Amino acid sequence: MFRIGLSYYNDAPTNVARDLSSDQKAEDAFNNFLIHFPNDPSAAEARKDLAASREQLAEKELYIGNFYFKRDFYDSARGRYEALLSLYPETQAAKEARSKLDKIEKENLHNED
C-alpha cells in the first residue's frame, strides 16, 4: 500500500496548472496505508508525503480561485476558496484563501457569474 502511494506521489507534476489526479490518488493510498498500518516503519514517510500531496492539491484550488478572483468573478472564487478551507485547512494555501475570502467579504465584492 505504501509503495502504491509513493508511486502516485512520484508521478505527480510539480506545476499546479497540470492534472493533479496523481496527487489525489497518492492521498487516498497514503490514507489507506496509514489506517491499516499506523505503526509501520514507513508511516512517517507516508505522513510527510501525504502532507506534501495535500499541500499541492490545496495550491491547485488556490490557483483556480485566484484565476476567478483576478477576473472579478468573486462568487466563483469564493466557492474555490471555501472548498480549499474545508478540504485542506492545515495548508499554507488555506491562509491565502482565508485572506482572499476576507477581502471579498470586507469589500462586499459580489457579482453574477
Q: Domain boundaries in the chain? A: 2-106
- The three cell numbers of residue 71 are 477576473
pLDDT for 46 equals: 97
The pTM score is: 0.89
Span 24-50, pLDDT tens digits = 999 999 999 999 999 999 999 999 999
pLDDT for 106 equals: 86
- Of 79, 85, 91, which is closest to residue 53 (Cα–Cα)? 91
What CATH class is the domain 2-106?
Answer: mainly alpha
Span 51-63, pLDDT tens digits = 999 999 999 999 9
Q: Which residue has the cell 505503526?
A: 39
pLDDT for 108 equals: 73
